[in-house]
């Protein structure tokens, strides 16, 4: 992998990740952009203990641009975009409309492919391996920034999820705090350690492996299963069999096997609702341990993949119970979801 760093016209950093070591990336951003000056305020909720980012500048972010004006496509034919080059493999750049910036973290956009009409499931194993390398590199570099406590790599796909740019892309959030969801997991892991002397994630993975009924895909170095108390209609958790805290700690054999496993899961998500259905909307989220929080060593890197679609033509909305009280009600039994995802195998 070759990494090339450059700057956009407003001063934001852009990084090219190329499979070829001889790739040359010298294109210049010619757009007349004013210097980036995002402003974010972080507020603490005293009742819930949550942290909320107030980022009014995001009201002006690009929203479903017309065909031919995608800001994530390469700059071609005189049309200038966020990516100065006329072609690329994988690109990461600072978000023009970040939720967190400066001393309050950082937000980046990850473009998986120059093909506007592609999807992650169609990238192929070589490109997927390059994306994994980019995620890992960004985790390492962002971890070194002052004030960054946790790095979150994720992809939202589909307008049903709220995606405003159709080009295949994901994001990386470098939070200046430990997220509420991670704090809950830290507390659960600590309580399990006190009660049993064992690691919570190891026990969960082993329970699912032994039971088998919710396992979706079992590979040599990865295990994918629908969790016992799944929140979403179709939700899969993917764990490396050797527990690690974050992407930096994955070994070579797990890295080599990941592309094939992950692409197969994405293909099954697109097949689970039957032939002729539109692409399945999903969120794909890497959960990594925070860098300095007590109990970091007890958290396990894993990927959570889920969709808001519960059946063809119907979505799972976060209504009163979910939105008002954070109590999820799942319409699809996890065992049924796991069986259907096994049946949707590509081979």
Catalytic residues: 169
CA distance 185 to 289: 10
Residue of 222, 205, 226, 323 lying closest to 269 (CA atoms): 226
Up-side HSE of residue 333: CA atoms within 13 Å toward CB? 5
Distances (CA, A) of 174 to 5, 20, 97, 239: 19, 28, 14, 22
Taking the CA atoms of 94, 96, 101 and 107 in sequence, report the sign of the dihedral they define: negative
Up-side HSE of residue 245: CA atoms within 13 Å toward CB? 17
Read off the DSSP letter of residue 292. S
CA 108 from centre of chain: 12
């Amino acid at each position: 992998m070759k990494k090339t760093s450059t700057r956009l016209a407003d001063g934001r950093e852009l990084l090219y990740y190329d499979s070829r070591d001889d790739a040359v990336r010298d294109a210049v951003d010619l757009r007349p952009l004013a210097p980036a000056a995002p402003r974010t305020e972080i507020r603490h909720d005293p009742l819930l203990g949550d942290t909320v980012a107030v980022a009014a500048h995001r009201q002006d972010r690009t929203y479903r641009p017309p065909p031919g004006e995608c800001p994530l496509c390469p700059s071609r034919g005189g049309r200038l975009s966020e990516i100065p080059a006329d072609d690329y493999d994988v690109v990461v750049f600072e978000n023009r409309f970040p939720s967190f910036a400066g001393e309050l973290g950082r937000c980046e956009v990850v473009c998986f492919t120059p093909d506007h009409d592609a999807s992650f499931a169609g990238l192929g194993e070589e490109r997927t391996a390059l994306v994994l390398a980019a995620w890992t590199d960004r985790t390492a570099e962002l971890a070194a920034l002052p004030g960054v406590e946790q790095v979150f790599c994720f992809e939202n796909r589909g307008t049903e999820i709220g995606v405003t740019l159709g080009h295949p892309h994901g994001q990386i959030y470098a939070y200046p705090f430990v997220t509420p969801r991670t704090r809950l997991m830290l507390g659960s892991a600590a309580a399990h350690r006190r009660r049993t002397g064992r690691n919570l994630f190891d026990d969960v993975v082993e329970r699912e492996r032994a039971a088998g009924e919710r396992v979706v895909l079992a590979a040599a170095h990865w295990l994918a299963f629908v969790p016992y108390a799944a929140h979403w209609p179709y939700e899969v958790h993917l764990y490396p069999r050797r527990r690690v805290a974050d992407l930096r700690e994955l070994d070579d054999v797990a890295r080599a096997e990941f592309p094939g496993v992950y692409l197969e899961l994405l293909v099954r998500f697109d097949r689970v609702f039957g032939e002729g259905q539109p692409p399945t909307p999903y969120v794909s989220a890497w959960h990594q341990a925070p860098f300095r929080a007590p109990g970091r060593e007890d958290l396990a890197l894993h990927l959570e993949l889920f969709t808001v679609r519960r059946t063809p033509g119907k979505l799972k909305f976060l209504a009163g119970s979910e939105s008002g009280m954070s109590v999820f009600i799942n319409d699809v039994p996890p065992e049924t979801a796991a069986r259907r995802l096994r049946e949707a195998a590509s081979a």
